[in-house]
Structure 1
Amino acid sequence: MSRRPAGGLGPLRDVVAGDMAGADVAHDLGHLDRVAGLAARIASREGHDGFVTAVAAYVHDHHRAAEARLGRSVAPAECREAARDALRRSGIDEGLHGPVLDAVEATGRYSFSAGEAPAPPSEQAAAIAAFLHDADMLDAMGATGIARAFAYGGAIGEPLWDPAAAVRADGYRSGPTGSVVAHFHEKLLRLRGELRTDAGRTMGERRHAVLEEFLRRFRDEWIESHDDDATAPPAP
């Protein structure tokens, strides 16, 4: 059994709360709390240590805070030492630092639009990466994913739906999109197919259904408001 700090995850959460000050609304401490809980649940259902996976969840977005400070894209590998420092300050067993940080970097390299990332260097890191990946994807799905998408879209000034911008035929690319609803079609509806674990896929089915139901209702209400289905977003 891995050594836990006296306060469990509490010390790590407190440290990360300070480190993540200034991160965008979609990658704030609330996001980390949710991903940590989901990752621990997935790991436990898959027969692994939920605590270690939750630790990885709390340090998986240090690059997001760096992006907010620097105004540019930052890879998780660039923030490896910042994440390691958070683990050290929190009293996390040093034997876990390598697997946790390797898993975070592997998850950061993975993108459904770019293919599978290289495998992490150990079985433990690979397992943590799979659980963390699915938890992160799940938080972008369902009612929570809907809330996050519109919170972030509002923060950067994206419209709900812009018929002129429509949906990119080539799918998701990093950066702003034409509208929040377009982002659903370009990315969020595709996440179900990228889940790696049985536990993640089970949870993902429910959350995917919520996304589809929301988009159906949004489309119906757009048509009611505009009396025009030609400008409505596509059906899911």
Structure 2
Amino acid sequence: MHSENNQLDKISEYVQQKFANDYTGHDYYHLQRVVKNAIKIATDEGADLFITTAAAWLHDITDHKLANNPEKEKNELIQFLKPLGLQYSQIEAIITIIDTTSYSKGVIPSTIEGKIVQDADRLDAIGAIGIARAFAYGSSKQRSIHDPTKSSGSTIHHFYEKLLLLQDSMHTNTGRMIAAERHQYIENFLHQFYKEWEGE
């Protein structure tokens, strides 16, 4: 019989292998940070720590930006989880969270665990780490740093299209508190960026 700690270790190893060659800002260390954020929030919110942690590790597995065949990845994940001894209801809860975490889907999760994982993931998209990840992802997609002649398409545009909107999308009190500081960091960065862009 697998203990929950053993199950989580196996899940961690699974994603470490899956994302070993990621250079878009969605690597194993991103997952690790999301897990840490999720555990912190789940502890404050009194949520199911196992479901929250497992889903946090696995939240990018079926992301359309990263997976060539999201449905295939989902089926492989289910087959991986079954022998670990998870209950059907646990697998179902984890898959549901994975299906609703992505910002681009615009879905509000129905469970507190889902809301926590979504908050934890979005927290890693803002602040100093969020800025670094934005430029890493932009580079991987051959986006320019900034192009003031265009209304979209650069990494700086992405700040306005997504990153600056994340603070107001937080579901939990802990998420909102952390997001406020990280949001301000982005505001400060942009202020300095434009000064330097203009040669000031």
Question: Which TM class, normalised by the smaller chain length?
Answer: 0.7 to 0.9
- Within the alignment, does 1:195 sit opposite 2:188 as a pair? no
| Residues 178-213 of structure 1: CA deviation (Å, up to 9, x unaligned) | 211111111100011111111110110011011100
Any conservation in 2 of the 1:24–1:68 contact (CA below 8 Å)? no
Letter paired with 2:183: H
SS in 2 for 1:7: helix
Any conservation in 2 of the 1:140–1:146 contact (CA below 8 Å)? yes
The structure with the larger Rg is 1
Alpha-carbon distance in structure 2 between the residues aligned to 1:60 and 1:115:
15
Match of 1:206 in 2: 181
Any conservation in 1 of the 2:164–2:183 contact (CA below 8 Å)? yes
1:93 equivalent among 83, 86, 89: 86
Alpha-carbon distance in structure 1 between the residues aligned to 2:170 and 2:157:
21
Letter paired with 1:130: K
SS in 2 for 1:9: helix
User: Is the alpha carbon distance of 1:182 and 1:28 closer, same or farther for their aligned partners in structure 2, counting shifts above 3 Å?
Assistant: same
Alpha-carbon distance in structure 1 between the residues aligned to 2:61 and 2:7:
20
Structure showing the higher helix proportion among its residues: 2
Match of 1:103 in 2: 97
TM superposition shift of 1:6: 4.9
Alpha-carbon distance in structure 1 between the residues aligned to 2:60 and 2:33:
13
Alpha-carbon distance in structure 2 between the residues aligned to 1:88 and 1:46:
28
Q: What RMSD in Å do the two structures reach over aligned CA positions?
A: 2.4
Any conservation in 2 of the 1:134–1:197 contact (CA below 8 Å)? yes
Task: Give the paired residue count.
Answer: 198
Match of 1:34 in 2: 33
Match of 1:181 in 2: 156
Alpha-carbon distance in structure 1 between the residues aligned to 2:107 and 2:75:
25
SS in 2 for 1:26: coil
Alpha-carbon distance in structure 1 between the residues aligned to 2:113 and 2:73:
18
Match of 1:161 in 2: 146
Any conservation in 2 of the 1:149–1:180 contact (CA below 8 Å)? yes
Any conservation in 1 of the 2:4–2:50 contact (CA below 8 Å)? no
After TM superposition, the structure 1 = structure 2 runs for residues 1-236 of structure 1, keeping only pairs within 5 Å, are 4-7=3-6, 9-64=8-63, 68=66, 70=68, 79-88=73-82, 91=84, 93-94=86-87, 95-108=89-102, 111=104, 115-117=106-108, 120=110, 126-167=111-152, 178-224=153-199
Identity of aligned residues (%): 33
Letter paired with 1:82: E
Letter paired with 1:191: L
